[in-house]
Amino acid sequence: MTAAERKKIQAKWLRAFRKIHRITGLSLLVFLLIISGTGILLGWKKHSSGVILSKSYSGTTADLKKWLPLDSLHTSACNILRDSVSPEWSTELDRIDIRKDKGMVKFIFKRHFTGIQLDGATGRLLHIEVRRSDFIEKMHDGSILDHYFNTGNELIKLIYTSIMGLSLLVFTLTGFWLWYGPKRMRSGNIKKMK
């Protein structure tokens, strides 16, 4: 095979990689913008002065022996949600976040992005929070669609993260070749193909 034929094959591969890179980029542009934008927001959440991630307030004591039973605190949180936010909103829990060192317990609800922070010892309301960071995180990993369609098994998240992870791999490989291929062609160091 002559040097001219090898360069022709090299150029053909370069055009193919460029086309793959361009098609992948254009078809996933919106998703890539969402991932990068939400990634920046998640990186800054603890430094957002409570806009993205609410402050965790402190209760009266970190001594768990002085705390009310968890079921009483849960009942209080549900009552506060109904009375202060909306009587129609679901009280189904996503998780309970116990901050012993702060003397606080946080009830995070599954069907909406609301959190209720209570004093663990008194049951007094410390804060009602809109959990913007949870919303942003679900946008970032694609599970927002699982949340709204109530899939339960995170199938949409699995498909979304697989596609986006593979596309990042494709971008990396084709981007490297788009950088390296022309250098290799110019230097004339193309190895003979068998």
pLDDT in tens, 57-83: 999 999 999 999 999 999 999 999 999
pLDDT band at 4; cut points 50, 70, 90: confident
Judge residue 77's burial from the number of C-beta atoms within 10 Å of its C-beta, 0-12 exposed, 13-18 middle, 19 or more buried.
buried
**180 within 8 A of 190, measured Cβ to Cβ:** no
Residues 16-33 have a mean pLDDT of 91
Using the predicted structure, report yes or no on whether residue 155 has a pLDDT greater than 60.
Answer: yes
Spatial distance between the Cα atoms of 134 and 143, rounded to a whole number of angstroms: 10
**193 within 8 A of 9, measured Cβ to Cβ:** yes
Judge residue 115's burial from the number of C-beta atoms within 10 Å of its C-beta, 0-12 exposed, 13-18 middle, 19 or more buried.
buried
Report which residue type is found at 62. Answer: A
pLDDT band at 166; cut points 50, 70, 90: very high
Question: Which letter, b or e, does each residue of 90-100 get, where b requires 16 or more Cβ atoms within 10 Å of its Cβ?
Answer: eeeebeeeebe
**115 within 8 A of 107, measured Cβ to Cβ:** yes
What is the residue extent of each domain of the chain?
Answer: 1-49+140-194, 55-130
Cross-strand bridge partners of residue 18: none
Q: How many angstroms from the chain centroid is the CA of residue 62?
A: 31
